[in-house]
Structure 1
Amino acid sequence: MPSLLLVVFGLQLALHVINTVGANTINELLWILYTKLPTPTSTSAQKAQKLKREVVRLKRELNAVSAQDNFSKWAKLRREHDKALSEFEKSDGSVRSHQTKFFSTLSTVRWVTTSGARLSLQFWYSKKPMFWLPQGWVPVYVEWLLSFPRAPKGSISINIWDIACASMIALISEALTAVYVLMTKKAPPTAQPQAFEGAPQGNAAESEKKEL
């Protein structure tokens, strides 16, 4: 069984990576991987992409034909375009519904395995010392702070160890970022801002449909 010290450190490292990369970015990457697997959802996603390409092709052909000069061909292309667009919207709606459920499940699993696990460990092991300080090494009031909230005095509590891990990971991350900037002369990559974790990109979908 891994040491509790390492478990707490690993949870803080996972939380730091998620916050740095961005939950939405991770969701999108996992969704792409999921749609590559042989599942019914991947089949629907591939069908939606195929219909999208067909709609775009018909739209271009429709724009290239004059309704006045060649009405019969224009009307035929129009019917084909409207039919393909209707099928695409239906297929795309189904895929986006699955995507929303997928993101919601990911968000729940991610919280349970990171923040939820962290809070559970802090509650369950609140009285357990992570390790002991040498006797008389720090003043009494510092011993009390380091054992907060319920660990034995003279020890390091899981809450304080958790804070120490988070601070150390943040410092190392900032140091690595500074080294990266100095070596490459480029700004460090940053995660995309997100309003609601796991929410589908509605504006992108609407603009995409407008283009079709």
Structure 2
Amino acid sequence: MSLLITIFLLVFITQLVSWIGQTVLLELAYALYLRLTRSAAFARQQALKSEILATKSELLKTSAQDQFAKWAKLRRSVDKGLADLEKLNSQIASSKSSFSLKFNSAIWILTTGVQFVVGWWYRRQPVFYLPEGWFGPLAWWLAFPFAPAGSVSVGVWQMACKRVVVLGERVVKDLTGESLDYVHVSS
């Protein structure tokens, strides 16, 4: 794959992650992770919740005055279940926090980190050459910082790609926004 397309795809993927949002991606990835790993803690949490709800339902049906022994036993069971659930929720939150750190690191490496590496690795290589004399004395800026004179550098190409992708996003948002406003006005 050519350097030109590779850089464009990297910039596009980075912007796509930005548009979707890391939080949304994290929630989707964590849900997928839980399904794939069949987390015992998550399964236990679900079972404990349903058990607590069933016991609490029975507790509400039991009279504290008429059947005190049964009511007290159910009450202790609910309290113990809630304490266990709180402890389990704490473990799951800790696990999710750890997953979040790893996921966010992976996203950064796969988007921003790869762009830095590509920019550094190909810093002296031109993405493409410009026809001679098109930009006159400003042609050196397009080759900034290390590409040969008369060419476009990786850094400049990344900036141009990002600008085009962001502009494309704005156009799509404007088009969908106008169509939604039009539907809203005509209704």
TM range (shorter): 0.7 to 0.9
Q: 1:74: how far off? A: 2.2
Of 45, 48, 51, the match for 1:51: 48
| Greater helix share, structure number | 2
1:33 aligns with 2:29: no
Report SS of the residue matched to 1:8.
helix
In the other structure, the counterpart of 1:7 is: 6
- Distance in 2 of aligned mates of 1:123 and 1:183: 43
Of 153, 157, 164, the match for 1:157: 153
Aligned ranges 1:55-134 → 2 under 5 Å? 55-63=52-60, 65-134=62-131
- Distance in 2 of aligned mates of 1:70 and 1:149: 84
TM-score (norm 1): 0.78
Structure number with greater Rg is 2
Q: 1:16: how far off? A: 0.9
TM-score (norm 2): 0.88
- Matching residue's letter, 2:175: V
Structure 2 segments unaligned to the other structure (5+ residues): 183-187
- What is the percentage of aligned positions where both structures have the same residue? 35
Segments of 4+ moved more than 6 angstroms: none
In the other structure, the counterpart of 1:208 is: none
> After alignment, is 81-90 or 114-123 more displaced?
81-90
Q: 1:42: how far off? A: 2.2
Structure 1 segments unaligned to the other structure (5+ residues): 187-212
Per-residue CA shift, 1:151-202, capped at 9, x if unaligned? 111100000000011000001111111122222349xxxxxxxxxxxxxxxx
Q: 1:100: how far off? A: 1.6
Aligned length: 182
In the other structure, the counterpart of 2:185 is: none
> After alignment, is 15-24 or 60-69 more displaced?
60-69
Per-residue CA shift, 1:115-136, capped at 9, x if unaligned? 1110111111111110000000
- Distance in 2 of aligned mates of 1:77 and 1:185: 57
- Distance in 1 of aligned mates of 2:134 and 2:62: 86
- Distance in 1 of aligned mates of 2:177 and 2:44: 43
Q: 1:45: how far off? A: 0.9
- Matching residue's letter, 1:149: P
